[in-house]
Amino acid sequence: MGVFGGIETGGSKWECAIGTGPDDLRATATFPTTTPAETIGQALAFFEREGPVAALGIGSFGPVDATVGSRTWGHITTTPKPGWSHADVGQEIRRRLGVPVAFDTDVNAAAVGEQRWGAAQGLDTFCYVTVGTGIGGGAMVGGHLVHGLVHPEFGHLRVPHDRDADPFDGVCPFHGDCWEGLASGRAIEARWGRRGEELAGTQAVWELEAKYLALGLVSAICILSPQRIVIGGGVMGGPGLLQLVRREVVAILNGYIEHEALGEHIDRYVSAPGLGSRAGAVGAIALAEAALSGLEV
Amino acid sequence: MGVFGGIETGGSKWECAIGTGPDDLRATATFPTTTPAETIGQALAFFEREGPVAALGIGSFGPVDATVGSRTWGHITTTPKPGWSHADVGQEIRRRLGVPVAFDTDVNAAAVGEQRWGAAQGLDTFCYVTVGTGIGGGAMVGGHLVHGLVHPEFGHLRVPHDRDADPFDGVCPFHGDCWEGLASGRAIEARWGRRGEELAGTQAVWELEAKYLALGLVSAICILSPQRIVIGGGVMGGPGLLQLVRREVVAILNGYIEHEALGEHIDRYVSAPGLGSRAGAVGAIALAEAALSGLEV
């Protein structure tokens, strides 16, 4: 089978890895996201130096075109990130590396990784949510990644926003106070004037954050009925935040959906990732392996 | 193959049908939902009189237990409807009719019917939403009905609620101003003091309704990325409402997801059902056929 390559192409950094899974990473590299040409060049240099790999998976920040057969497959589409709008990532890397390439969103790649080796093992219907600079979500239903029209864009759903309690307008350039606009790391920094890391002692920050995060998760629960929600990302390191989110999810649902997962087992239901910060790159390795075996995930 | 039976067990009436599809219904019956014993008895009498059927599908109001193998499979669970909480429907009918029975939510059954014969033909990832007395939603992803932990409960997701513009508290006994609490037929009647049918001339009713409906659909778009949304139910008969909803969906997304379906093709993307008011019973026939062939949908 050989070994596989994985890249998580984040908006601020790229994580590259070579191996067969989280416990067998033969080489890794992390470098900042600059221009497409330079960043893709660094990734290619890494895989040429440390490879060869039998196939490569890419989990990308989005929105992306992940539709196999599309003329712009492998491209990042409407990102506001300067220089990256409509950038070709997947086709360029496939051409220059000369191996099969699987391309999906960073969160769908992480979902595959979490199912294979992390907190979603044995599940076929679940979602993976990351709360960092932005908010993203990926999902599997019946063992298949959700693509549909494009791919999920959890961050841009709307949640209730009580402007009397929280007059903050939100930071999303497209929507203002969508979920990401109210609850991402960027939103925390803009609302409170300091980064989350500096707000550890301010309980009100995390209580408000937990409310917004729970409202979005409740939408995911009502629409997808996931068997579990895996939620990670830098913001989730906030003090006690995961526990507050669980409490709010239960409070908002208010017993309507009768299931122990949404009651006594809520700590397992809303779960931290099993793969930590490498979920994206490791998930991309799982994508690569599936691509080579001709499996569609 | 023989013919199949389908029941849509609604909260106010049951629709029964025998046939092989919407163009081949051999017999139909509609009767009011009274007690479980009486209503189930009427359905059994219909199928015994007009049958036999090779298999039966049931699309039920919910929440339900549709997990094959569960001890309470075929039961309605936490409904506030008097007499129906934890009522056994599927097992009782299966035992007394002696044929294979497929049991799912009314909206999942309708989704199967719309995919087979209606407005979702050729699609594998879409959702079906009904806006009537309540709001419900079913979905397919990759050709499989979404079940997951339980089943989708679209009606209970939360949407932004501007209490200055709309001080109405909502009618959901569990959540107050969840989507169903703000935008169902029951909500319209409680907010405006008259039923939707009597409010045809009041444009403000339908503009507010369209905003709420679009906010919920946007959550479904962000989470499921459906290839199409089929939306029906009595409330959708409101004057110009479907067109207003389409306009609001495009306005709320504000160009973030670049796809013609969410722009110039929005009229096809947010679509009326193809099966009309019999979608549930006809969809249940499709469920029955699939159950008999051992297919899981």
- CA torsion sign for B227, B233, B239, B244 is negative
Instruction: Using CA coordinates, name the residue in chain A closest to B144.
Output: A142
User: Where, residue-wise, is CATH 3.30.420.40 in chain A?
Assistant: 4-109+276-293, 120-271
Instruction: Using CA coordinates, name the residue in chain A closest to B262.
Output: A149
Query: How many Å apart are CA A53 and CA A50, to the nearest integer?
Result: 9
pTM across the whole model: 0.95
Instruction: Using CA coordinates, name the residue in chain B closest to A65.
Output: B258
Plot region of B215 (φ>0 → left; ψ -120 to 50 → alpha; else → beta):
alpha
Query: How many Å apart are CA A27 and CA A11, to the nearest integer?
Result: 22
Residues 6 or more apart whose Cβ sits within 8 Å of residue A238: A196, A199, A200, A205, A206, A209
Contact B144 A148 (CB under 8 A): no
- What integer is the mean pLDDT of A231-236? 95
A-B CB pairs within 8 A amount to 171
Contact A160 B158 (CB under 8 A): yes
Is 90 exceeded by the pLDDT of residue A2?
A: no
Chain B closest-CA separation from residue A24 CA (Å):
31
B86 contacts in chain A (CB < 8 Å): none
Q: Which CATH number fits domain B120-271: 3.40.50.300, 3.30.750.24, 3.40.50.2000, 3.30.420.40?
A: 3.30.420.40
Any bridge partners for residue A127, and if so which?
A139, A229
Preceding peptide of B32 cis, ω within 30°: no
Which range (A80-84, A290-294, B20-24) has the least confidence? A290-294
Query: Could you report the per-residue pLDDT of A127-171, keeping only the tens digit for each?
Result: 999 999 899 999 999 999 999 999 999 999 999 999 999 999 999
Contact B225 A259 (CB under 8 A): no
Which range (A67-71, B151-155, B225-229) has the least confidence? A67-71
End-to-end Cα separation, chain B, in angstroms? 19
Query: How many Å apart are CA B162 and CA B165, to the nearest integer?
Result: 6
Q: How confident is the model at residue B288 (pLDDT cuts 50, 70, 90)?
A: very high
Instruction: Using CA coordinates, name the residue in chain B closest to A179.
Output: B219
Instruction: Using CA coordinates, name the residue in chain B closest to A256.
Output: B174
- What integer is the mean pLDDT of A276-297? 80
Contact A146 B125 (CB under 8 A): yes
Q: CA–CA distance from B244 to each of A272, B213, B239 (Å)? A: 40, 10, 9
- Mean pLDDT over the full length of chain B: 94
B157 contacts in chain A (CB < 8 Å): 218-219, 222-223
Interface test with A, best of B127, B211, B219 (most A CBs within 10 A): B219
What does the pLDDT read at residue B70?
92
Q: How confident is the model at residue B295 (pLDDT cuts 50, 70, 90)?
A: low
Is 80 exceeded by the pLDDT of residue A110?
A: yes
What does the pLDDT read at residue B1?
63
Which range (A14-28, A77-91, B168-182) has the least confidence? A77-91
- What integer is the mean pLDDT of B241-268? 96
A126 contacts in chain B (CB < 8 Å): 148
Plot region of A28 (φ>0 → left; ψ -120 to 50 → alpha; else → beta):
beta
The residue type of B244 is L
Are A5 and A55 within 8 A, CB to CB? yes
Are B224 and B141 within 8 A, CB to CB? yes
ipTM of predicted complex: 0.94
Chain A closest-CA separation from residue B276 CA (Å):
23
Instruction: Using CA coordinates, name the residue in chain A closest to B124.
Output: A148
Are A214 and A208 within 8 A, CB to CB? no
Interface test with A, best of B77, B85, B157 (most A CBs within 10 A): B157
Preceding peptide of B52 cis, ω within 30°: yes
Is 60 exceeded by the pLDDT of residue A201?
A: yes
Task: Select the residue of B154, B177, B226 nearest A148 (Cβ to Cβ).
Answer: B226
Which range (A96-110, A144-158, B280-294) has the least confidence? B280-294
Q: How confident is the model at residue A294 (pLDDT cuts 50, 70, 90)?
A: low
Contact B157 A222 (CB under 8 A): yes
Query: Residue A63 gets which letter from DSSP?
Result: S
What does the pLDDT read at residue A295?
55
What does the pLDDT read at residue A80?
76
Query: 3-state SS of chain B?
Result: CCCEEEEEECCCEEEEEEEEECCEEEEEEEEECCCHHHHHHHHHHHHHHHCCCCEEEEEECCCECCCCCCCCCCEECCCCCCCCCCCECHHHHHHHHCCCEEEEEHHHHHHHHHHHHCCCCCCCCEEEEEECCCEEEEEEECCEECCCCCCCCHHHCECCCCCCCCCCCCCECCCECEHHHHHCHHHHHHHHCCCHHHHCCCHHHHHHHHHHHHHHHHHHHHHHCCCCEEEECHHHHCCCHHHHHHHHHHHHHCCCCCCHHHCCCHHHHEECCCCHHHHHHHHHHHHHHHHHCCCCC
The CATH superfamily label for domain A4-109+276-293 reads ATPase, nucleotide binding domain (3.30.420.40)
Q: CA–CA distance from B134 to each of A206, B94, B168, B173, B187 (Å)? A: 34, 28, 17, 12, 9
Contact B257 A154 (CB under 8 A): no
B141 contacts in chain A (CB < 8 Å): 141-142, 144, 146, 148
Query: Could you report the per-residue pLDDT of B110-141, keeping only the tens digit for each?
Result: 999 999 999 999 999 999 999 999 999 999 99
Query: By three-state DSSP, how is residue A133 classified?
Result: coil
Contact B258 A78 (CB under 8 A): yes
Contact B147 A225 (CB under 8 A): yes
Is 60 exceeded by the pLDDT of residue B297?
A: no
Q: How confident is the model at residue B253 (pLDDT cuts 50, 70, 90)?
A: very high
Q: What are phi and psi of A125, to 5 degrees?
A: -135, 105
Query: Could you report the per-residue pLDDT of A202-229, keeping only the tens digit for each?
Result: 999 999 999 999 999 999 999 999 999 9
- What integer is the mean pLDDT of A246-250? 98
Strands B270-271 and B144-145: unpaired
Are A139 and A94 within 8 A, CB to CB? no
Query: How many Å apart are CA B185 and CA B199, to the nearest integer?
Result: 12
Is 60 exceeded by the pLDDT of residue A267?
A: yes
B161 contacts in chain A (CB < 8 Å): 160
Contact A261 B158 (CB under 8 A): no
What does the pLDDT read at residue A35?
96
Q: Could you tell me which residue, A117 or B290, shows the higher pLDDT?
A: A117
Task: Select the residue of A150, A223, A257 nearest B150 (Cβ to Cβ).
Answer: A257
Contact A157 B219 (CB under 8 A): yes
Is 80 exceeded by the pLDDT of residue A25?
A: yes
Task: Select the residue of B157, B158, B254 nearest A175 (Cβ to Cβ).
Answer: B254
Instruction: Using CA coordinates, name the residue in chain B closest to A216.
Output: B158
Q: How confident is the model at residue B242 (pLDDT cuts 50, 70, 90)?
A: very high
Instruction: Using CA coordinates, name the residue in chain A closest to B224.
Output: A152
What does the pLDDT read at residue A297?
52
